[in-house]
Amino acid sequence: MKPGQDKAQLEKEFDDLASIHGGYWRYGFVDHSYLYNLYFPPEEFFELLQSNIHALVQNYPVAQTKLAGWLGELIEQSPKHIVVGNGAAELIKIISAHVSKKLIVPTPTFNEYVNAAPAGRVVEFSLDTPSFDLDMDRFVNAAKESKADVAIVVTPNNPTSKLVPKSDLLRLIAGLAEIDCMLVVDESFIDFVEDRDQVTLERDIKQYPNLTILKSMSKAYGICGLRIGYILTANTEFAEKVRSELPIWNLNGFAETFLETATRFQEAFLTSCVQVRKDRDEFYRELSTVKGLTPYRPDANFVFCRISDNTPDSLTIAKKLFVEHNIYIKHCQSKAMQEGDRFLRIACRTPGENSRLVSALDELTRSYD
C-alpha cells in the first residue's frame, strides 16, 4: 500500500484510472496494463529532442507528404501507399466512423474499432472459445450477410496476444474480395512475433487491392506520448479517403523528429524487440507457475490469462493487486467476450518487475485456495 494513502483512497484511485486513458506515470504505480517496448527509443533520441527543444516548440511541423516520405524510408515502402496518423487511434476513428459503411470486427479485440463506429454500423463477430481462434469461413459469411465493406483483424490480437496465421489471412483476403470488402489488418504488435518478416503482410499489399495494414508505432517503438500510427495500402482510393479526413498538420514536431531520424536507430530497435521477446517468454513461464491462473501462450508483449472459478472476478483481482501491491493490470470485464470477468491481460515489463508481479499474483490467488 502506498505511504500516506489508505485503502479507500487507493480503491478510488483505481476506479478513476479507468476513465483517464493514460498519464499513468504521474501516479507512481507499476503499469502492467499499457503495452509498449521499455527498451526503446535509445537515449540518443531523447538527447536529440532536448537539443532542438526550442525549434520544435516554436515552429510549425511538416505535413503529410514529408511524413509519409520519412516513414516510407523506415519501412521500405512507397510514400503514396502510406497515410500517417496522430496515433493509430486517429486512423481507426476515420476508418470506423467515416470511411466504412458497415464494419465487421471479431471480438474480443481492441475496443476502439467498435467504439468509434456510429450506432448500427458495426457487427461484432464473436471469436471461438476457449481457443479464441478466428473461423475464416464463418467470418466471411458474416461479412457477406451483414453487407460489410470493411473488416478488421488484429494480429497478434489484443487482448488474447494470439497471432492469426498468414495463410489464414490470405484465404480471408480472397474470400472478402469476392464481396468487395476491404480487410484492415492491424499489425501493431507484429514486431514482437518470432520470425516477424515471415508473418507480416506488409510485403503483400501490391498483390491484394482489398488489403490495408494498420499499425500503431506506440507499442513496438515505445513512443506512446508521440502519437504516431499509419496505414499501408496499394489501394490508392482507400488511402485517399483516409487521407482526406486528416487536418493539414496532424503530427507535432516531436513525432516529426522521430520519423525523420528513425532509420538511424533501426539496429537498436531490432535488438530491443529481441529483448522483449526473451522477457515475454520468461514471463509466460513464470505466470504458468501461479496457482489458479492459466496463461495463454503469447505472440505479443503481453499475456492473456484465465483465472480459476475459485477466485473472485478479474476486476476484484486487479483492484487488490493495485491496492495491496501498487501494481496495475488490465481486467477484461469491459471486453465484448464470454466470461470476461474470468480474464486478465498482463503487460510484460522488465524481468524484475515481472517477477514481482508473479509473486504478488501467486500470493493473492493462493489466499482463495
CATH number at residue 273: 3.90.1150.10
List the pLDDT tens digit at each of the 369 positions of the chain.
666 678 889 999 999 998 999 999 999 999 999 999 999 999 999 999 999 999 999 999 999 999 999 999 999 999 999 999 999 999 999 999 999 999 999 999 999 999 999 999 999 999 999 999 999 999 999 999 999 999 999 999 999 999 999 999 999 999 999 999 999 999 999 999 999 999 999 999 999 999 999 999 999 999 999 999 999 999 999 999 999 999 999 999 999 999 999 999 999 999 999 999 999 999 999 999 999 999 999 999 999 999 999 899 999 999 999 999 999 999 999 888 888 999 999 999 999 999 999 999 999 998 887
Which range of residues forms the domain containing residue 127? Answer: 59-263
Domain annotation covers residue 47: no
In a domain, 243, yes or no: yes
Q: Is residue 49 part of a domain?
A: no
Same domain, 232 and 348: no
Last residue of a domain, one of 263, 289, 308: 263
Q: Are residues 282 and 248 in the same domain?
A: no
Do 148 and 293 lie in a common domain?
A: no
Q: Cα(214)–Cα(235) distance, rounded to whole angstroms?
A: 13
Domain boundary among 247, 263, 279: 263
**Same domain for 257 and 141:** yes
Domain count, the chain: 2
Domain-terminating residue out of 222, 243, 263:
263
Residue written as grid cell 495463454: 296
